[in-house]
Amino acid sequence: MLVRYIPRHRLSKKDPNLPISEPVEPIIYYLDPGVPEPVKTALLEGAKWWDEAFAQAGYKNAFIVKVLPDNADPMDIRYNVIQWVHRATRGWSYGSSVIDPRTGEILKGHVTLGSLRVRQDILIAEALAAPYLQGNEVAKTLQAMALNRIRQLSAHEIGHTLGIAHNFSASVANRASVMDYPHPLVGFNDKGELDVSRGYANGMGQWDTQVIKYGYSDFRNLDESAELAAILADNQAKGLEFISDSDARAQGGAHPTAHLWDNGSSPSEELLRVLKVRQQALTNFGINNIKVGTSLSQLEEMLVPLYLFHRYQVESAVKLIAGVDYEYEVRGEGAVKGAQVVAKQTQQQALA
């Protein structure tokens, strides 16, 4: 016999009869005390976003984030930990868990965040905006963009340790999930200058809230199957899709909305917009992209992410060509849309 469990932390209401109740025991995560400021505060703030989602699932103070006590061992299985590590080169961040295979209960969540990530975000921001011609105010805006990315990264990796998979279709629904890979959303201000103020979303997306409702709601005294079905129906009504790694990572994948590092509901239209951003940034690229006293060789390192700024949106648009739209289905689920070939006009637009 095969039984499938949703990986999840143990969480239940003190009073299941109340629409909003404190939990019997909250989920507590501990942040590495060695993280420097202002990154430390950004990680704490991003982690606390999850309490918003648990509130929507009927809990009060269910998700708590603290700084790890000095005498605590981050490898101790009793602590859910957000750990800050150093690498010589850029590397992935991870959200892993220790799970009881008999029940699916998550016994320990362990997030590992690489310190070089924020440097990459600053590098991209500096490459885009040539900030050191206009003074410190622009530089502060770029730092704010990088810290917003750190908040999002904190929430993303913690999401994995809560049992949540990537959703690479969230970007087409107005950045509906922190579990997508976000590309910086760069636009133009009223003066026609590049604007990074909306670079990364701030807070939980609709999809994240729905996932927590599905996985963590306390359905005692209710028809659990009916409640879960209602959440799925609500997802469809809100236009929320879920496509994960196996159907999104391949550059030659067929799904038209499953992409990494993209933005927008129309991949081809967003590509044209991104190319305009790239063109302006390349036109302005030069000595003002680096601080006084910085080695000129830094310009070469900075140019690479700028020159390739459009590369993921290209992959996104390519998937429209001969693309097939579909969703994950289970037997007995009811009405589903089935596989649908991408409209001819949409494919032609991607080729234009």
Does residue 268 lie in a domain region? yes
Alpha-carbon separation of residue 135 from 140, 144, 156, 288, 289 (angstroms): 9, 15, 33, 10, 11
- In the chain, % helix, strand, coil (3-state, to 5) comes to 40, 15, 45
pLDDT for the residue 86: 87
Question: Averaged over 29-50, what is the pLDDT?
Answer: 97
- Over residues 136-171, the pLDDT tens digits come to 566 788 889 999 999 999 999 999 999 999 999 999
Residue with tokens 């200058």: 193
Alpha-carbon separation of residue 89 from 58, 115, 183 (angstroms): 42, 10, 20
Residue type, 293: G
Q: Are the C-beta atoms of 57 and 22 separated by less than 8 Å?
A: no
Q: Which one, of 285, 325, 321, 323, lies nearest residue 305 by Cα? A: 285
- Over residues 64-81, the pLDDT tens digits come to 999 999 999 999 999 999
Q: Which domain holds residue 206?
A: 118-351
Phi and psi of 107, rounded to 5°?
-90, -30
Give the angle 198-199-202 at the CA atoms, nearest 5°.
70
Decide if pLDDT at 326 tops 70. Answer: yes
Give dist(CA 195, CA 123) in Å, integer.
Answer: 16
Does residue 306 lie in a domain region? yes
Does residue 86 lie in a domain region? no
pLDDT for the residue 337: 75
The pTM score is 0.94
Overall residue count recorded for the chain in this entry: 352
Give dist(CA 100, CA 111) in Å, integer.
Answer: 18
User: Cis omega (within 30 of 0) on the bond before 16?
Assistant: no
DSSP state of 84: E
Phi and psi of 305, rounded to 5°?
-65, -25
Number of domains observed in the structure of the chain: 1
Q: pLDDT > 70: what percent of the chain? A: 97
Per-position DSSP letters for 93-114, written without gaps between them: -EEEEEE-TTT-BEEEEEEEEE
Does residue 266 lie in a domain region? yes
- Over residues 276-298, the pLDDT tens digits come to 999 999 999 999 888 888 899 99
- Over residues 186-205, the pLDDT tens digits come to 999 999 989 988 999 999 99
Does residue 239 lie in a domain region? yes
Residue type, 83: Q
Does residue 21 lie in a domain region? no
Does residue 193 lie in a domain region? yes
Residue 133 in tokens: 């011609």
Does residue 145 lie in a domain region? yes
Give the angle 37-41-46 at the CA atoms, nearest 5°.
140
Rg of the Cα atoms in the chain: 22
Q: Are the C-beta atoms of 83 and 74 separated by less than 8 Å?
A: yes
Give dist(CA 8, CA 22) in Å, integer.
Answer: 18
Average pLDDT of every residue of the chain: 92
Confidence of residue 334 (pLDDT cuts 50, 70, 90): low
In sequence order, what are the residues at sequence separation of 6 or more whose Cβ sits closer than 8 angstroms to the Cβ of residue 320? 256, 267, 268, 342, 346, 347, 349, 350
